[in-house]
Amino acid sequence: MILQFKRHLQRNAPDDGTGPAIEKKMQQIKQLRRDAVIKTAGSIMLIAVTFTLVFGITYAPTNDMYPAVHKGDMIIYFRPGRIVTTDVVIYEAPDGSRQIGRVEGTEGETVGKNDDGLLTINGNFQPVQERTGLYEETFAGSKEISGEIGSGEYLILGDHREEAEDSRSFGLIHRKAIKGKVFTIIRRRPL
């Protein structure tokens, strides 16, 4: 009975700034705050999930892909379904380091070396890129790679062949070690 009387007084009270109008506005403000917090939290979770499952961000650890990618450049990559020759990828090397390189050989291709120690893929030498300043010749390296590339394995080489640590140092790279394809590069310039 007392509660009903209280409601009757609130409904019939004059609006002098302390009545139901103020209460209603306070409730609207609380609701707006709740909505803002929920939307902000949802947006943060969406961004976190997107950059965990779809995209990734890392820094170029070395100059292995010079001049396209410089050491320290920020790299945004996405997790692909299919990897093909010439894709630039981020991968984890067998020693645990994160590397960047270009896929030069995929399943079914044959890797070897000639008598001069130059790397061959399907019996062909890697093309000479003197004009662009990338590399003159591709030596086979310290890791003995020869034969057909198996399922789920990739031959990955850096564009800066003279100094790059890549499949010639680590061997063939397994699919599960590839983190993703490079989507974009944000160049870090010294001040």
Instruction: Report the pLDDT value the prediction gives residue 136, as an integer from 0 to 100.
Output: 64
* Residue 76 confidence class, pLDDT cut points 50, 70, 90: very high
Report how many domains make up the chain: 2
Q: Are residues 93 and 128 in the same domain?
A: yes
Specify the 3-state DSSP secondary structure of 100.
strand
Q: Are residues 132 and 177 in the same domain?
A: yes
CATH number for position 99? 2.10.109.10
Q: Which two tokens stand for residue 184?
A: 């974009």
Instruction: Report the pLDDT value the prediction gives residue 73, as an integer from 0 to 100.
Output: 93
Half-sphere exposure of 29 (CA within 13 A, CB side): 6
What DSSP line would sit under 69-85, residue for residue?
S-TT-EEEEE--S---T
Instruction: Report the pLDDT value the prediction gives residue 31, as an integer from 0 to 100.
Output: 92
Query: Is 178 among the domain residues?
Result: yes
Instruction: Report which residue type is found at 9.
Output: L
Query: Is 66 among the domain residues?
Result: yes
Q: Are residues 26 and 78 in the same domain?
A: no
Q: Are residues 116 and 66 in the same domain?
A: yes
Q: Tell whether the torsion through CA atoms of 94, 172, 183 and 43 is positive or negative.
A: negative
Rounded to two decimals, the pTM is: 0.71
> Of 16, 36, 53, which closes a domain?
53
List all residues 6 or more positions away from 180 whose beta carbon is below 8 Å from its beta carbon: 55, 56, 77, 78, 79, 80, 89, 90
Query: Is 151 among the domain residues?
Result: yes
CA distance readout (Å), 154 to 33, 59, 102, 130: 52, 22, 10, 25
What DSSP line would sit under 115-159, residue for residue?
TT-BEEETTEEPPP-TTTTS-S--B--SS---EE--TTEEEEE-S
Q: Are residues 10 and 77 in the same domain?
A: no
Instruction: Say how far apart CA 167 and CA 158 lie, in whole Å.
Output: 9
| Beta partners for residue 119, in sequence order | 113
pLDDT at 10 over 60: no
Instruction: Say how far apart CA 155 and CA 105 lie, in whole Å.
Output: 5
CA distance readout (Å), 119 to 96, 102, 105, 135, 140: 25, 15, 11, 13, 4
Query: Is 130 among the domain residues?
Result: yes
Query: Is 191 among the domain residues?
Result: no
* Residue 143 lies in domain: 60-186
> pLDDT tens digits, residue range 30-65?
999 999 999 999 999 988 887 777 888 899 988 888
DSSP 56: E
